[in-house]
Amino acid sequence: MTKSQILAEVKKAQNIVDQLVPGQVRVAAHKHGEGGMCMVGYYDMYVNMGGKANAVECSKMEKLDRYYDAGVFTHFFKQRAEFMNATSEVQMDFEGHPAEYTK
């Protein structure tokens, strides 16, 4: 992928996640350790630490290769949208997998 194609994919993915989980994910492209580039979505998840909600930095990474698709990358966030849009207190009290959370 060219630099302009990568920047277009970052913008496309950012627009999609902003609709799912507004303001909660920062999408960027970085060099991949095995060569090439990867798409990364950075977000916080809240966990219970001593009875208080503590933000833990998390990320979702996918290599930008011939199999990359913005829809596949953003599906990770679509599955977790209800959980990610919940309050920090709800997130820290939930004991299941984030993709299984429902209101």
Q: Is the pLDDT of residue 82 over 90?
A: yes
Contact 60, 80 (CB under 8 A): no
Q: Hey, what CATH topology would domain 3-97 get?
A: Double Stranded RNA Binding Domain (3.30.160)
| Mean of pLDDT values over 63-84 | 95
Percent of the chain with pLDDT over 90: 78
Domain ranges across the chain: 3-97
User: For the segment 12-51, what is each residue's pLDDT rounded down to a tens digit?
Assistant: 999 999 999 999 999 999 998 888 899 999 999 998 888 8
- Which band of pLDDT confidence, cut at 50, 70 and 90, is reported for residue 52? confident
DSSP 8-state secondary structure symbol assigned to residue 98: G
pTM: 0.90
Residue 102: φ, ψ to 5° = -135, 150
* Per-residue model confidence (pLDDT) at position 99: 94
